[in-house]
Structure 1
Amino acid sequence: MNKGAPKQTNNQAALSHKLSTYMKAQAKVNGFSGTVLITGKDAVFLREAYGLADYEWNIKNTIDTKFQLASVTKQFTAAAILQLVEKGQLSLDDKLNKFLPDYPDGEKVTIHMLLSHSSGLALGFKELALSTISADSAYNEIKKIPYAFSPGTNSGYSNIGYYVLGKIIEKVSGEKYAVFLKKNIFEKAGMKNTGISNNDSIILKKAKVYHHTENGLAHNPYINWEFNIGHDGAYSTVEDLALWDKVLYGTTVLSEEMKNRMFTSYNGHSFGYGFLINPFYNQGHQLIGHDGGFFGTMTSFNRYTDDGLLITVLSNNQSPAYMLAYGLAAICFGKDVELPYHHQKVKGNSALYPLFKGNYEDIKIIENDGKLYYNDLDLELFPESDTKFFRSDDDNRTVEFMKDSDGKYSMIKLTKAGVAEIRNKK
């Protein structure tokens, strides 16, 4: 715990120990690399760095290491748009073609639709982001990408929508996206270690990024930051993100009215403006958060606002930040969470498999040719005992078949990031 943190009570110290033990195991067993910050209303529960910022030079991550944020960037874009709304420089009902007249069907898309992922614009432009083309050429290509659905008729996550919002910020303000955010958000929040990436600047203490390949970890591919912004592009530290969390409880950056708009869920996917509002994984607590991921960058920013709890996980080696944040939240809320361990495949008792197959609420267990599969034949379950299995795509997600009082296998215990959930057989 840092020297400036409030003195912990015995309960807080016990919680800190559990959180620290969990993350040390994640680093040891699963190779987590990154930083974690967990704060409450009056205490810092965990503030720690793990792994390496540079694998080639064996340079360790520190608590002030800067990480790419991926889609956690979207909340800053949304905040900037709402600032422009508050200043009367645009309206949530304004149409896209008011700002980008050449964008196809722009007269059908509103600012609100872009913010709430209901515009129909497609998911993204991954291949373009990895290219060396100019920002103008990229825009011309992005305009050609077909809509996923008619604007306003559905909801679907869209990186393109937030890329477009970034361009609108520049058009309305007359400033570069990076400049506007620095002046109107980062500086106001005291976020001195936060900015927007570009292709040229040298950023001190910024972690290199690595992703998994068949041959192990490799450098992230080239990403063109000249235009891969709005939906992505920000970098920060866990401590700067804690400052951002703090200002969102006040009105330094956004008025109460604008925050209410940002923190409202507008559809069945829990999309607010730049945030997810009480998504299905909120564990029964008010959650305003967002995750991010692009190759080796994996991030998770979670504000449990009724509890005054902030959980931030940033990774530079494709560690599943969102899953770790889920496990850490469960510990904070008093749940029993299993520590990670190395899973070993053994020879299973296939005679039991006919008893295991079936529908367990939203999960289907399939038996085929002496093997078990999860939902479809692409995802095999590997046995680690007669009744417990781990998923072939992620060994930190396990399935255990359990008997009821009549001795029948009628339920499964699913474990993800160490958090258990029960599903009953239909």
Structure 2
Amino acid sequence: MLVRILAPAALVAALLAPPALGQASLAPSPPDSSYLYTPEGQILQQFLDAYNTGDRSALERFAATHYTGDYLANYGGPQGRADHWLNKFSQLGPLRFHTTGAFMGRPVAWLLGTVSQGWLGQILLLTDEPAPRVRGHMSLVGSGPPGVRSLPEPLDPPSLPGYLDAYLTRLASHDLFAGTVLVAKDGRTVFERSVGHANLGHDIPNHLDTRFALASLGKLFTAVGVLRLADEGALTLDDPLARFIPEYPEHIGRQVTIRHLLTHTSGIELDEIEAFEQAKDAAASLDELLHAHLTFLDSLENVEAFAPLDHFDYSNEGYDLLGLVVERASGMPYEAYIREGVFAPAGMYASGLLSEPFIPHLALGYYSGLGRDGTPKAGVPVEFQHRQAFPHPSGGHYSTAGDLLRFVNALVRHELLQEPTAARSLARQVVVGEEPGRASYYGLGFEIHEEAGLTSFGHDGAYSGISTALSVYPEVGYTVIVLSNYSFVAKTVARHLREVIASL
């Protein structure tokens, strides 16, 4: 039986409450219609001529002609620039100039994917020579200019499935996407389709029951596990880390709380230390991963004067520590608690951990990068199959689009968390980013976005051969789930679907 799911008022109120830290200024920047007549605009047009060929030699010639020697020396020469743009081509496809505006006081050219409908903003910094050359540039990948949509005209709900079907067909025909897209309204699926291959070598297509590695989207399960334990009285969000992990240095363990770990404000950030990453990769259990933490904490610049942060700083290490907290607070292995405390109550029987010995229907990951012949296309197998030696709470999960919808429905029905806890999880705890026309925050494990007149909660994830996005729009009742076994492309698709939802 299909049940109409309406977002409870408490969830909507939590999303619309003021942020805990900071305040956004979201006035749109006016466009500059004269951009194409500037030196930057003329170079941009030559860039598009080279980029849209998808040809490495054309991009290398463009870079050698229009970039300064110093810039090329720092960024891999013409070959490095060509690699960069070919990877963008594989994510966004061909681009065309759309409009201009301003970002941080500089003119920005907004380019739109003719197939992907994905946006790319370009800010070019030129020398003052008689023949200007690029001495630097900034790429804004993601959402487009404030108040501007890529859709030629608004859609209505009855036309949504047909539009999405045609959109996915275009993406797949240009090899820009492989995976599953699901859109639901009030908890009921209104569109679901899989395209591309789960296994190229064996010619196995993606199906609706294909399971995808989730990368950081799986942090939602760890966060909900922690919050369930809070509902059960096994912990509080203001408990110090030392209560559950006394092995941590006392001056850190006494200051960092569970709340800090959930909101990425703990200040525990080790993944820029190469030796730590090697030790992390060699770990065979959460306890061994903790040992790697303890070994390399002295490498933190502020280890002697350590203090939690008053701002957001994304930390996979923090969520792996939360996995240990789950184990020690529940008395169960992490994977057992997530399976019994999160997956089972939500009816997610096609979900699990990538450390399991056998995972049927798991898609292989493919780089969204250069093909074997050097052309810009997806379909280069990664060197691993997204399997892990032990459960990684920061991103070691797999699922299907259907199971993720069950997760969302269980969450809004308060079958996973008590209503006050669910509302607190979606309250803005810390500012992630603010720019004209959009703002992002982090709750207790949930990403919160405001853009195109809509507020959403969820999470995304990306790794080699993985890109995922889950977005719930409680004010209008839509849920969007994008799972891909190509790198980085899920965000492009999910952002376009945000524009589609906003137009309905």
Fold match (TM-score > 0.5): yes
Q: CA deviation at 1:30?
A: 3.8
CA distance in 2, matches of 1:11, 1:305: 18
| Aligned 8 A contact 1:68 1:234 in 2 | yes
1:142, distance to aligned residue in structure 2 (A): 2.4
Structure-2 residue corresponding to 1:140:
291
Q: 2:412 aligns with which of 234, 244, 249?
A: 249
Q: Is the 8 A contact 2:353 2:391 kept in 1?
A: no
Residue aligned with 2:481, SS = strand
- CA–CA distance in 2 between the matches of 1:129 and 1:218? 23
Q: 1:341-383 CA deviation, whole Å, 9 max, x = no partner?
A: xxxxxxxxxxxxxxxxxxxxxxxxxxxxxxxxxxxxxxxxxxx
The alignment status of 1:178 with 2:178, answered yes or no, reads no
- Percent of counterpart pairs with the same letter? 30
In the aligned structure 2, how far is the partner of 1:27 from the partner of 1:148?
A: 46
Contact kept? 2:382, 2:464, Cα under 8 Å: no
Once the two structures are superposed, what CA deviation does each residue of 1:170-227 show, in whole Å capped at 9, x if it has no partner? Answer: 01111111110111111111111011120x5111111111224555412243666234
How far apart are the structure 1 equivalents of 2:189 and 2:385?
36
Q: Any stretches of 5+ residues in structure 2 without a counterpart?
A: 5-154, 373-379, 433-440
Amino acid at match of 1:182: R
Say whether the 8 Å CA contact 2:354–2:386 is kept in structure 1. no
> In structure 1, what is the equivalent of residue 389 of structure 2?
226
**Which residue of the partner structure matches residue 312 of structure 2?**
155
Distance 2:366 2:267 in 1: 32
User: Quick check: 1:301–1:312 contact (8 Å CA) kept in 2?
Assistant: yes
TM-superposed CA distance for 1:134, in Å, is 5.2
- What is the Cα deviation at residue 153 of structure 1? 3.0
Shift of 1:250: 1.2
Task: Kindly tell me the number of residue pairs found equivalent between the two proteins.
Answer: 327
Distance 1:126 1:5 in 2: 45
1:207 aligns with 2:363: yes
Q: Aligned letter for 1:110?
A: T
Q: Determine helix, strand or coil for the equivalent of 2:172.
A: helix
Which structure has greater helix proportion?
Answer: 2
Equivalent AA in structure 2 for residue 109 of structure 1: V
Does the residue aligned with 1:298 lie in a helix, a strand or coil? strand
1:111 to 258, 277, 282: 258
From 468, 473, 477, the equivalent of 1:308 is: 477
1:292 paired residue number: 461
Partner of 1:338: none
Higher relative CO (Cα under 8 Å, sequence separation at least 6) belongs to: 2
Distance in 2 of aligned mates of 1:33 and 1:62: 10
Find the aligned partners of 2:342 and 2:166 in 1 and give their Cα distance: 35
For residues 209 and 162 of structure 1, the distance between their equivalents in structure 2, rounded to whole angstroms, comes to 23
- Cα deviation for residue 138 of structure 1 reads 2.9
Residues 100-133 of structure 1 show CA distances to partners (whole Å, capped at 9, x for unaligned) of 1121311110001001111011164654454465
Q: Deviations over 1:403-425 (max 9, x none)?
A: xxxxxxxxxxxxxxxxxxxxxxx
Distance 2:411 2:286 in 1: 32
**TM-score normalised over the length of structure 2:** 0.61
Q: Supply the AA of the counterpart residue of 1:204.
A: P
Alignment partner for residue 328 of structure 1, among 497, 500, 503?
Answer: 497
Contact 2:463 2:488 (C-alpha < 8 Å) held by counterparts? no
Alignment partner, residue 40 of structure 1: 185
AA paired with 1:237?
T
What residue is the counterpart of 2:219 in the other structure? 74
| Greater mean alpha carbon deviation, residues 27-36 or residues 167-176 | 27-36
**What amino acid maps onto 1:142 in structure 2?**
H
Cα displacement (A) at 1:11: 4.2
Query: CA offsets, 1:240-262, max 9 Å, x none?
Result: 00111111111211001110111
Which of 310-319 and 48-57 deviates more?
Answer: 310-319
> Using the alignment, how far apart are the partners of 2:194 and 2:163 within structure 1?
16
Residues 86 and 135 of structure 1, relative CA distance in 2, 3 Å threshold:
closer
CA distance in 2, matches of 1:262, 1:148: 31
CA contact (8 A) 2:264 2:314 kept: yes
Alpha-carbon distance between aligned partners in 2 of 1:211 and 1:308, rounded to the nearest angstrom: 33
Runs of 5+ consecutive residues of structure 1 not aligned to the other structure: 336-426
Asked if structure 2 preserves the Cα contact closer than 8 Å seen for 1:210 and 1:220, the reply is no
